[in-house]
Amino acid sequence: MRDKAVIGAAGLPEARWGKETMVGRLVSVNVGMPTNVQWRDKTVYTGIWKTPVEGPVMVRRLNIDGDGQGDLGGHGGEQRAVMVYQTESYEFWKRYLNRNDLKPGHFGENFTITGLSDYDVCIGDRYRIGNAEFEVTQPRVTCFRVGLRLGEPEKPNLLVAQHRPGFYFRVITEGCIQAGDRIVRTRRGRHQLSVADVDALLYLPHKDTATLRKIVDVPALSPGWQQSFNDMLASGPDSAPAAAIEPGWSGFRPLRVIAIHAESSSVLSIRFEADDNAALPPPLPGQYLTVRIPGAGDPVPLRSYSLSGDPAAGDYRISVKREECGLVSRWLHAHIDPGSVIAAAAPRGDFYLTGRRPAGGLDVRRHRHHSGLGNAACARGRPQYP
């Protein structure tokens, strides 16, 4: 017998049949194949341009028919077969960014839906749409390509800060779907940890150990995120030292690479300035810079490097030694170029030197901030740190 309908978080009636609950509708199905796009004097191969399609569409284990990804290291695959974003978030960004041109597919999502808030959807939840079934595996990985698509360079950081990342589906049962289909929740995930909370657990400060222990116990969570949270538990959820002084800005902001220099065959110096050309607050000698590197892994890894430049120079410099098993250090040596944009937290650290003498050294202090794939074993059995 049909249960009594209740009103869900998005104002939609939740029609319940036993353990199954209708929680929303599929508004649009969006696909697109990767192409080369010019951005900041570079060519980026990306599939983030998605457009709506009409009629039934087949969803398969690794993809939707007609869809593709340019960076398979950070997008696509079994764990991220379908990207999902909500019409409610579209309405929020229209107001927040003062834009009225945002339409389904602009955030690179495959499914534009209504009724499934990031606060209500949990890792491991299962949903039936059409005759296909899906499982939530992880929040969206915040990637610079979102900023590229929308012409908003700070957009990836805003998705985290405003707790509106969206999420990925794994395909449990292949099948046909189309715009207008009901979305029926068939099962709740273990521990019922929401997409917004799990995203904040990785990217925002003040980790809760009890929540970390719960999330690694959720079998539906994708392996990359599992590894990151296990690394946090192994090293302590707040292993990076707290700042002794007020940081120059809160959260992360985009920094643009203005120069790189090979100090030796294994050490690369990288200089940054603010992407918006604003003045950077001078660091104290001996402080470190925590950077987030889109493209280096999934989830986007964070690393902390000592600042090795003159604090009075007006820009920031780090020096990165390439390590054989270093996920991020190898990526930086191979891919970073002038014009590249990364996200960085303000310089931090209470181990700093008095006076104006630059720190000048390589890795004066090593911060194992495992918010990425930092401790996954490499082929020779050694951990990946830098």
Instruction: Tell me: pLDDT of 4 over 50.
Output: no
Distance (Å, rounded) from C-alpha 297 to C-alpha 211?
Answer: 23
Instruction: Tell me: pLDDT of 292 over 50.
Output: yes
Task: Record the tokens describing residue 305, joined without a space.
Answer: 């490097």
Q: Across-strand partners of 135?
A: 126, 170
Reported as a pLDDT band with limits 50, 70 and 90, residue 198 is very high
Q: What is the pLDDT of residues 40-56, one digit of tens each?
A: 667 777 777 788 999 99
pTM of the predicted protein model: 0.62
Q: What is the pLDDT of residue 219?
A: 94
Instruction: Tell me the average pLDDT across 305-321.
Output: 86
Q: What is the pLDDT of residue 129?
A: 96
238 neighbors 204 (Cβ within 8 angstroms):
no
Q: What is the pLDDT of residue 73?
A: 57
Q: What is the pLDDT of residue 385?
A: 38
Q: What is the pLDDT of residue 75?
A: 61
Q: What is the pLDDT of residue 347?
A: 85
Distance (Å, rounded) from C-alpha 190 to C-alpha 125?
Answer: 8
Helix count and strand count (H, E) for the chain = 7, 20
198, containing H or E segment? helix 195-203
Instruction: Tell me the average pLDDT across 157-162.
Output: 70
Task: Record the tokens describing residue 242, joined without a space.
Answer: 């707290």
Distance (Å, rounded) from C-alpha 169 to C-alpha 140?
Answer: 10
Cβ-proximal residues to 38 (8 Å cutoff; 6+ apart), any chain:
44
Tell me the torsion sign for CA atoms 233, 224, 89, 146.
positive
Reported as a pLDDT band with limits 50, 70 and 90, residue 126 is very high
Using left for φ > 0, alpha for ψ between -120 and 50, and beta otherwise, residue 105 falls in left
Q: What is the pLDDT of residues 319-378, one digit of tens each?
A: 999 888 788 888 899 889 888 888 888 887 654 444 444 444 454 333 333 333 333 334
DSSP-derived 3-state class of residue 226:
helix
Instruction: Tell me the average pLDDT across 145-167.
Output: 71
Question: What is the β-pairing status of strands 82-86 and 111-114?
Answer: parallel
Instruction: Tell me: pLDDT of 102 over 60.
Output: yes
Q: What is the pLDDT of residue 156?
A: 60
Residue 104, preceding peptide bond in cis (omega within 30° of 0):
no
Q: What is the pLDDT of residue 278?
A: 81
384 neighbors 373 (Cβ within 8 angstroms):
yes
Reported as a pLDDT band with limits 50, 70 and 90, residue 164 is confident
Instruction: Tell me: pLDDT of 196 over 70.
Output: yes
Cβ-proximal residues to 138 (8 Å cutoff; 6+ apart), any chain:
79, 80, 123, 167, 168, 198, 221, 222, 224, 225, 299
Task: Give the distance, in angstroms, between the CA of residue 214 and the centroid of all CA atoms in the same chain.
Answer: 20
Q: What is the pLDDT of residue 201?
A: 87
Distance (Å, rounded) from C-alpha 153 to C-alpha 145?
Answer: 9
Instruction: Tell me the average pLDDT across 24-34.
Output: 91
Instruction: Tell me the average pLDDT across 284-303.
Output: 80
C-beta atoms surrounding 31 within 10 Å? 18
C-beta atoms surrounding 326 within 10 Å? 21
Q: What is the pLDDT of residue 208?
A: 87
Instruction: Tell me the average pLDDT across 236-241.
Output: 49
Q: What is the pLDDT of residue 302?
A: 81
Distance (Å, rounded) from C-alpha 334 to C-alpha 260?
Answer: 12
Instruction: Tell me the average pLDDT across 233-238.
Output: 69
DSSP-derived 3-state class of residue 128:
strand
Distance (Å, rounded) from C-alpha 197 to C-alpha 176?
Answer: 31
Cβ-proximal residues to 245 (8 Å cutoff; 6+ apart), any chain:
284, 350
Q: What is the pLDDT of residue 182?
A: 96
- Cβ-in-10-Å burial (0-12, 13-18, 19+) of 345 comes to buried
Q: What is the pLDDT of residues 243-263, one digit of tens each?
A: 334 456 767 888 999 999 998
Instruction: Tell me the average pLDDT across 199-211.
Output: 84
Reported as a pLDDT band with limits 50, 70 and 90, residue 36 is confident
Bigger pLDDT: 110 vs 106: 110
Distance (Å, rounded) from C-alpha 1 to C-alpha 83?
Answer: 34
**Tokens 């039936």, located at residue:** 128
Reported as a pLDDT band with limits 50, 70 and 90, residue 87 is very high
